[in-house]
């Protein structure tokens, strides 16, 4: 195909894409990779920029541990930004002092969160998450987590639609006492 035809096709396609209703454009971009969304944040097309920015704000990945600061730093987010988060991935690398952080209040402000994925968390950390975010939680995925029975002893009863336990210590089964689960998936415990 000639270069001029490609440019014309590209322009027509992008113009037609931008003519779509905002809701449909958001739905289409929802399936984009984070790198694509970050690139769209740099575009001159304001509607693409706004949709991509909103989608990136809804899906947050943070890394916690002695050698990591949370990136992005969720402790500096305003309550409106925290309320917009729909999906949270937490990677725990080493020991995290839960008493020294304002993590419970940050979790409590995530009032619309639907999906949480925790990698490397302790039973105490899982307990903290479930005590602060059970109102709207649909999916909880635990990967390489460890727990002692006493970590989950005095938990408030809660219901989660989908619980996935992947490569976790067998003590994670004690989580099933206070948690009612509609769909349970366990691999490699």
pLDDT at 165: 86
Query: For tokens 């739905």, what's the residue?
Result: 27
Q: E strands along 4-112, which residues?
A: 59-64, 87-92
pLDDT at 117: 92
Q: If residue 52 lies in a helix (H) or strand (E), which one and from where to where?
A: helix 46-58
> For residues 142 and 94, what is the distance between their CA atoms, to the nearest angstrom?
16
Q: What is the mean pLDDT of residues 145-174?
A: 79
Tens of pLDDT, residue by residue over 3-37, are 554 454 445 455 577 788 878 888 888 777 777 87
More confident residue, 11 or 84: 84
CA distances in angstroms from 155 to 24, 78, 177, listed in the order given: 41, 28, 9
Instruction: With 0.85 as the threshold, say if the pTM is over it.
Output: no
| pLDDT tops 50 at residue 177 | yes
Of 56, 24, 22, 21, which is closest to residue 41 (Cα–Cα)? 56
Q: What is the mean pLDDT of residues 93-119?
A: 81
Q: What is the mean pLDDT of residues 53-78?
A: 72
pLDDT above 70 as % of the chain: 83
Q: What is the mean pLDDT of residues 61-84?
A: 73
pLDDT at 1: 47
């Amino acid at each position: 195909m000639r270069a001029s035809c490609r440019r014309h096709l590209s322009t027509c396609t992008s113009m037609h894409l931008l003519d779509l209703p905002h809701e449909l454009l958001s739905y289409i971009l929802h399936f984009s990779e984070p790198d694509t969304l970050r690139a769209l944040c740099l575009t001159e097309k304001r509607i693409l920029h706004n949709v991509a920015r909103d989608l990136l704000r809804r899906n947050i990945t943070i890394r916690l541990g002695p050698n990591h600061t949370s990136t992005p730093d969720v402790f500096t987010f305003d309550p409106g930004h925290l309320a917009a988060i729909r999906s949270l991935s937490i990677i725990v690398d080493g020991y995290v002092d839960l008493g020294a952080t304002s993590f419970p209040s940050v979790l409590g402000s995530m009032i619309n969160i639907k999906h949480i994925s925790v990698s490397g968390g302790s039973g105490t950390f899982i307990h903290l998450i479930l005590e602060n975010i059970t109102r709207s939680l649909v999916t909880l995925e635990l990967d390489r987590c460890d727990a002692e029975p006493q970590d989950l002893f005095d938990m408030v009863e809660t219901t989660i639609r989908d619980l996935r336990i992947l490569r976790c210590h067998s003590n994670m089964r004690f989580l099933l006492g206070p948690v009612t689960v509609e769909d349970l998936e366990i691999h490699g415990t």
